[in-house]
Amino acid sequence: MEVTALCFRLLMTVMILQCEHDQRVDSASLHVTPDKLQFFRYEQVTFHCESEFNDGVLQKLEGKLQSCSTTGTSPTRSTCSIKALYSEDSGDYVCVAGRWEGSNIISITVTGGSVILESPALPVMEGEAVTLSCRKKTMSFNFTTHFYKDGLHISSSSTGSVTISRVSKSDEGLYKCNIPGVGESAESWLAVREQHLHTRPCSGQCCHIYVILRTVFTIVMVAVLLLLVGLLQCGTLRATRQNPSPPNK
């Protein structure tokens, strides 16, 4: 019985690993052009939805998704362009593909004000240089700008931008900027991703072959485990018949 239970646990482990792999395969990613989180009203934005094997679909988590011009640039990549943004287009956007409904979320803010903060839409890697820019609705240069993180003043600039040369997790937080006499931007979250060693993900024909091999391997493993369980059960029954328990006195 202990051996049978062990085989069952091994079988479940193989199936769980295969499910986790399938979820990673079906995962989608989302990014935007231009690469920023804040927009002036009537600006244009393009969402790029990518998935390894499935067509990705753009969704807004709350509220109505404005009709956008959708283009399928490839079987696994599509774009959705909103020509003129409005305040109600502010919110969280996600790309859905296959069984995995968890692409990265991009939260954009559309303002009717005079100032926006331009910061990366996606998390930045530790050690990279990051530039935050404060932009006026009416283009001009050489204006004084104040930058804030989590409500605290961190820097002033006469060029309208500030650069963090080597970003770290301690730089993660809510940022905004202020131009005296003009206005203040909304806050946007700057996300910082820790550096880890990652193996390069497969792609294209190579990845299709890998998935096929993984599937065949899983089927073979399941068959072997079931056969082993069957043989063990047969052996147990044979041993029981050959060595019956002595009758109780």
Query: What would the mean pLDDT of 102-112 be, rounded to a whole number?
Result: 90
Say whether both 148 and 210 belong to one domain: no
Say whether both 174 and 132 belong to one domain: yes
Per the structure, the complete domain to which residue 230 belongs is given by 2-21+202-237
pTM above 0.85, yes or no: no
Rounded Cα gap, residues 80 and 45, in angstroms: 8
Query: What would the mean pLDDT of 135-145 be, rounded to a whole number?
Result: 82
Rounded Cα gap, residues 144 and 131, in angstroms: 16
Six token digits for residue 181: 């006499």
Rounded Cα gap, residues 159 and 177, in angstroms: 13
Does the residue 214 lie in any domain? yes
Does the residue 152 lie in any domain? yes
C-alpha distances in Å from residue 197, one per residue of 121, 172, 192, 194: 23, 21, 16, 10
Q: Are 156 and 146 a contacting pair, CB within 8 Å?
A: yes
CATH classification of the domain holding 181:
2.60.40.10
Does the residue 55 lie in any domain? no
Does the residue 106 lie in any domain? no
Does the residue 101 lie in any domain? no
Lowest mean pLDDT among 78-82, 91-95, 195-199, 236-240: 195-199
pLDDT by residue (tens digit) across 199-236?
444 444 444 454 566 677 778 777 877 777 777 767 66
Say whether both 131 and 179 belong to one domain: yes
Say whether both 191 and 117 belong to one domain: yes
Q: Are 193 and 126 a contacting pair, CB within 8 Å?
A: yes
For the chain, the domain total comes to: 2
Q: Which of the pair, 17 or 37, is modelled with greater confidence?
A: 37
Say whether both 191 and 206 belong to one domain: no
Does the residue 15 lie in any domain? yes
Does the residue 69 lie in any domain? no
Q: Are 229 and 7 a contacting pair, CB within 8 Å?
A: yes
Closest to 83 in 3D by CA, of 35, 42, 53: 42
pLDDT by residue (tens digit) across 172-204?
999 999 999 999 999 999 999 988 644 444 444
Q: Three-state DSSP class for 208?
A: helix
Does the residue 100 lie in any domain? no
pLDDT band for 6, please (50, 70, 90 cuts). very low
